[in-house]
Amino acid sequence: MTGMFIALLLREIRLSARIGGGFSAGIVFFLTLVTIIPFAIGPDLALLAKIGPAILWIASVLSTLIGLDRLFQADEEDGSLDLLKMSQLPFVWVVFGKCVAHWMTTGLPLTIFAPFLGLLLSLDGNSTGTVFLTLLVGTPALTFIGAIGAALTASLRRGGLILSVLVLPLMIPILIFGVLATESSQLGVAHFASHFAILGGLTLLSIVFGVSLSTLALSTTE
């Protein structure tokens, strides 16, 4: 089963890397948004450093939504999803693998780019490190929450807007505690650890409920 899961993971990564797979679109949007905002705010470096973590987190949330509607839709349209349901690999692992592949091609690159973009936002070393850690732990939650909306809208032709309306409210707690954990790092390790632990707990819950509800929604799709 491990070999089948790895094969599925590699397949999804290859599909995401192709033109139109959403791999480059999310990253380009993230880079563009974070680069433009400092020009809009102006030369106030103190203000930029204060809101920098929030900018990176908001950009990550919006970038994750790009191409998320294609997570299951492409396989639904060409019939691949039905074949995956009948494969020897349990369907819950299929859904989990597709979500992991989406995070590896969207959330992980955003997390890696974030420290470098932190220089544009005048973030110090401590803030840059905590932003990286919070994004590394929090971005998987964004993918698995988004998977619920992607599963519900898989049969819709243009379900991107509906998907955003469905999942954005669910992503707000991840955004809040991600930013709070970064800002509280200035107050000491104890303050950071408490918010970081909550963020980690929300991510674990998102993985469990995201995979379960997505599998249920796709299993009932005609």
Dump pLDDT digits (tens) for 206-218. Answer: 999 999 999 998 8
Answer yes or no: is pLDDT of 37 > 60. yes
| Amino acid sitting at position 139 | T
The pLDDT, as a whole number, for residue 159 is 67
Tokens 């397949």 sit at which residue?
11
Answer yes or no: is pLDDT of 73 > 90. no
Task: Give the CA-trace dihedral at 159, 60, 202, 119, to 10 degrees.
Answer: 180
pTM of the model: 0.91
Q: In a 10 Å sphere around its CB, with 0-12 CB exposed, 13-18 middle and 19+ buried, how is residue 91 labelled?
A: middle
Q: How many domains does the chain have?
A: 1
The pLDDT, as a whole number, for residue 220 is 78
More confident site: 113 or 188: 113
Answer yes or no: is pLDDT of 21 > 60. no
Are the beta carbons of 63 and 110 closer than 8 angstroms? yes
Please give the mean pLDDT across all residues of the chain. 86
Helical H segments across 66-159, by residue range? 70-78, 80-85, 91-105, 107-118, 125-152
Tens digit of each residue's pLDDT (9 = 90 or more) over 123-172: 888 888 999 999 999 999 999 999 999 988 887 777 677 888 889 999 99
Expressed as residue numbers, the domain containing 42 is 2-219
The pLDDT, as a whole number, for residue 136 is 95
